[in-house]
Amino acid sequence: MRPLITFFALVAAMAAQNDAPTFKSSSTLVIVDVSIQDKAGHEITNLTKNDFVLLEDGKPQTIAVFELQRLNGGTAPAPVPTPPAPSITAALPQRQNIITTAGPGKLVYRDRRLLTLFFDFSSLSIPDQTLARQAAEKFIREKMLPGDLVSILSFGTALKVNQDFTADKDRLLEVIHGFRIGAASELAAVGGTGDTTSGEDTGAAFEADQTEFNIFNTDLKLAALESAAKMLGALPEKKALIYFSEGVDKTGVENQSQLRSTINAAVRSNVSFYPIDVRGLDATPPGGDASHASARGNSIFTGAAQRGVRDQFLNQQETLATLASDTGGKAFLDSNDLALGITQARDDVRSYYVLGYYSTNGAADGRFRRVTVKLASKQYAGAKLDYRSGYFGPKDFRKFSAADKDNQLQEALMLGDPVTELPLAIETDYFRLNRGKYFVPVSVKIPGLSVALAMKKGEAQTTFDFIGQVRDAHGKLMGSVEDGIKVKLDSSKSGQAASRAFQYDTGFTLPPGAYSLKFLARENQSGKMGTFESKFTVPNLDALKDKLRLSSVVWSNQRAPVVEAVGVADKSKKAGAGNPLISDGQKLAPSITRVFRKDQNLYVYLEVYDASVDQNSGMPAISSELTFYRASDKVKAFESRPARLMQTAEGRPTALPLRFRVPLGQLTPGRYICQVNVIDQQAHKFAFPRAELVLLP
């Protein structure tokens, strides 16, 4: 009894000090929207709470929230008060609106159909911004039913809530009229396929962009959709998000994790995406129409220009179709009646039940929990139930042990639900070590703004954990890496961390083939994690008979001693063995984003393999030079002195390293096409690898 007496004595002492004891508990409210149709496809709307059986991971759950959302076309339910909103004026830097909520599991809008119009101005050209606005206006004026509630979101450089859900047509039209046509339209032209030989010759002047050359741009669009879905997820009702866009570009290094994370966030939030391709029915003539600049080079004569335009168009639409199909929505493509797409999205939202329960699983382990909904009565045997199959539980990183953290990394790498709290960009290259074996360096870049630093003993510190896997086309594991690194910055550098980036490098030894890479990083100060998934190919250079055999081209702005690298997992000589980017104790760090400043040097590195040898001198006859062309007018801006390759790589007699170093202070800021000219004079072979770079002031 002694512990009991002591406990009550403590309570009495606390009460005497007017400090009442506090007992805390937490629970997770899970909301599931269920649509039910009988065998004939008719909606079933006469069920009660007792007609449902709800399971989580096979364990019965008590239904705490039960509502029927009865949506009957044009029938007008009771009016809903419109939240106050600021007037739209020309000078409007004021506060944004928010999405109104009413607490966990409580319906804000009963028997209402919730539609969100999402204008992605970062992917819309000026004419298409006008078309999107006209379509929205037409729907609101002519097609909007009394039971419809509409909210408006927009994305240019940031996600904004322009209007909360309302049935006030005048207010909605006022918001849409307040959009400035042309806002963020310059971002719509950034990106694309990166093909500088067959792309569009725009002749556009350079405009400095704070985003790093669009490497994160595609992820930003998807992240904006993910944020919108999470924002709408505070409402338990079913939502349809109509996404006005010209498609989502593929950048060449595809991050499938962000796409899947966006889809999973929408599924968890009961949001269905209905993308509308604002370009409508597009029939591009072989030479292009008057809305685009002419093609560069001879691509218009070979058909490469038309193939490139069509492939890019289809890739953009493919992303929209994926967003729609995986969230239960529909993509509206190749149609000029855009308002019809909004109407179809509205008509897809039918009557449904809102079920809510407090999960009996209190573990904050982040694991997937499968939800099953059944009908108790055999009377409805054969009925079709449509609902989400489960959700991922909460996680508390601060309470993780070392073993928990290791398990979290392993599970996060294998789970189908990626995490994108920490944005990543990755570059893979390839260098031939010998016939049939290639070294593939992998460089990971993390924006400093996303990293939390802790001050200890006058230094800003954090630690990163990295884990990655490479699998071949058949899913076989070909290589893995798991590293933990510590980053320390003195007080003079810690203030610059937010404007810079952290970079991590590793590598794999692989034979030629097609591979998939899945990489995960965790910053251990805040517990943020980021997943990156990409496909890459290691070519079989030995199969090239009539072409010059080259490695990847590495473009860099940093070459420093290995021992001075910040946060390198292993700085030993063994770690650098076989890595062509390390020589004479110096390490070359690839610039993944291809963005440089005038106060930096540009380092270019590549290798030539199996070069012909001059019969008289016995030396290779390889010459090369580096040339800069202004992207705006294709005028040559710089050309290096010709270089002749003489010395082979250490331990690899068939490899000729080629290095350039160019001080960028002599060039004006802008976009450049940088080309390496490599000529084998003896074998009469040549190659001209090129890349598009951005030079900032």
What burial class does residue 22 get, using C-beta atoms within 10 Å of its C-beta: 0-12 exposed, 13-18 middle, 19+ buried? exposed
| pLDDT above 80: residue 95 | no
- Write down the pLDDT at residue 510: 94
Nearest in space to 150 (alpha carbons), one of 131, 173, 128, 132: 173
- Write down the pLDDT at residue 592: 82
Pick the CATH number of 399-540 from 1.20.120.1200, 1.10.40.60, 1.20.1440.120, 2.60.40.10: 2.60.40.10
Q: What are phi and psi of 321, to 5 degrees?
A: -65, -35
Pair of tokens at residue 424:
């990543």
Q: Residues 6 or more apart from 396 whose CB is under 8 A from it? A: 364
pLDDT grade for 294, boundaries at 50, 70 and 90: low
* DSSP SS3 for 688: coil
CA 507 distance to own-chain centroid = 23
Pair of tokens at residue 265:
């966030």
The C-alpha atoms of residue 93 and residue 293 are separated, in whole angstroms, by 35
The architecture in CATH of the region 27-70+353-395 reads Sandwich (2.60)
pLDDT grade for 73, boundaries at 50, 70 and 90: low
CA 200 distance to own-chain centroid = 25
pLDDT grade for 487, boundaries at 50, 70 and 90: confident
pLDDT grade for 536, boundaries at 50, 70 and 90: very high
What count of Cα atoms within 13 Å lies in the side-chain half-sphere of residue 690?
17
The C-alpha atoms of residue 252 and residue 8 are separated, in whole angstroms, by 67
pLDDT grade for 11, boundaries at 50, 70 and 90: very low
The C-alpha atoms of residue 341 and residue 275 are separated, in whole angstroms, by 9
**Is the torsion defined by CA of 247, 251, 253, 259 positive or negative?**
negative
CA dihedral angle for residue 481, residue 486, residue 492, residue 493, rounded to 10 degrees: 20
Contact between 95 and 86 under an 8 Å Cβ cutoff? The reply is yes
* pLDDT, average across residues 629-645: 86
CA 341 distance to own-chain centroid = 26
The C-alpha atoms of residue 451 and residue 462 are separated, in whole angstroms, by 8
Q: What are phi and psi of 238, to 5 degrees?
A: -75, 140
20 versus 492: the higher-pLDDT residue is 492
The C-alpha atoms of residue 196 and residue 248 are separated, in whole angstroms, by 20
pLDDT grade for 299, boundaries at 50, 70 and 90: low
* pLDDT tens digits along 353-393: 888 898 888 877 767 788 999 998 888 888 888 887 777 77
> Where is average pLDDT lowest: 6-10, 115-119, 310-314, 557-561?
6-10
- Write down the pLDDT at residue 437: 92
- Write down the pLDDT at residue 603: 93
Pair of tokens at residue 10:
């403590």
Q: Which helix (H) or strand (E) holds 348?
A: helix 338-348
Contact between 189 and 214 under an 8 Å Cβ cutoff? The reply is no
Q: What are phi and psi of 242, to 5 degrees?
A: -90, 115
Pair of tokens at residue 156:
């240019």
Q: Which helix (H) or strand (E) holds 261?
A: helix 256-268
Nearest in space to 609 (alpha carbons), one of 556, 547, 537, 554: 547
Percentage of the chain exceeding pLDDT 70 = 72
Residue boundaries of the structural domains of the chain: 27-70+353-395, 113-345, 399-540, 544-697
* pLDDT, average across residues 645-673: 87
The C-alpha atoms of residue 1 and residue 28 are separated, in whole angstroms, by 35
Phi-psi region of 320 (alpha: psi -120 to 50; beta: other; left: phi over 0): alpha
| pLDDT above 70: residue 529 | yes
> Where is average pLDDT lowest: 233-247, 327-341, 401-415?
401-415
Beta bridge partners of residue 503, listed in sequence order:
445
- Write down the pLDDT at residue 664: 92
The C-alpha atoms of residue 406 and residue 579 are separated, in whole angstroms, by 28
Contact between 222 and 259 under an 8 Å Cβ cutoff? The reply is yes
- Write down the pLDDT at residue 204: 35
* pLDDT, average across residues 332-347: 86
- Write down the pLDDT at residue 82: 44
DSSP string over 145-174: -TTEEEEEEEESSSEEEEEEEE--HHHHHH
Domains 27-70+353-395 and 399-540 share a fold: yes
84 versus 541: the higher-pLDDT residue is 541
Nearest in space to 594 (alpha carbons), one of 665, 694, 697: 694
Contact between 611 and 621 under an 8 Å Cβ cutoff? The reply is yes
> Where is average pLDDT lowest: 166-170, 308-312, 346-350, 647-651?
308-312
Pick the CATH number of 544-697 from 2.60.40.3880, 3.30.413.10, 1.20.1370.20, 2.120.10.70: 2.60.40.3880
Percentage of the chain exceeding pLDDT 90 = 19
- Write down the pLDDT at residue 297: 58
Pair of tokens at residue 234:
């505070």
* pLDDT, average across residues 452-474: 81
CATH number corresponding to 113-345:
3.40.50.410
> Where is average pLDDT lowest: 180-184, 307-311, 564-568?
564-568
* CB atoms near residue 629 (< 10 Å): 20
> Where is average pLDDT lowest: 253-257, 482-486, 646-650?
253-257
> Where is average pLDDT lowest: 400-414, 437-451, 501-515, 647-661?
400-414
Contact between 581 and 588 under an 8 Å Cβ cutoff? The reply is yes
pLDDT grade for 147, boundaries at 50, 70 and 90: confident
Task: Work out the mean pLDDT of the chain and round it to a whole number.
Answer: 77
The C-alpha atoms of residue 114 and residue 375 are separated, in whole angstroms, by 27
- Write down the pLDDT at residue 605: 93
Most confident of 277-281, 522-526, 551-555, 575-579: 551-555
DSSP string over 487-507: EEEEHHHHTTGGGSEEEEEEE
The C-alpha atoms of residue 516 and residue 535 are separated, in whole angstroms, by 4
> Where is average pLDDT lowest: 193-202, 238-247, 650-659?
193-202
Q: Residues 6 or more apart from 477 whose CB is under 8 A from it? A: 469, 470, 471
Contact between 510 and 478 under an 8 Å Cβ cutoff? The reply is yes
Beta bridge partners of residue 696, listed in sequence order:
597
* pLDDT, average across residues 417-421: 68
What count of Cα atoms within 13 Å lies in the side-chain half-sphere of residue 592?
23
| pLDDT above 90: residue 116 | yes
Contact between 33 and 387 under an 8 Å Cβ cutoff? The reply is yes
* DSSP SS3 for 231: helix
> Where is average pLDDT lowest: 28-32, 68-72, 201-205, 213-217?
201-205
- Write down the pLDDT at residue 613: 79
| pLDDT above 70: residue 446 | yes
Q: Which helix (H) or strand (E) holds 386?
A: strand 384-386
| pLDDT above 50: residue 203 | no
- Write down the pLDDT at residue 628: 93
- Write down the pLDDT at residue 308: 65
* pLDDT tens digits along 27-52: 678 888 888 888 888 888 889 899 99
Contact between 589 and 505 under an 8 Å Cβ cutoff? The reply is yes
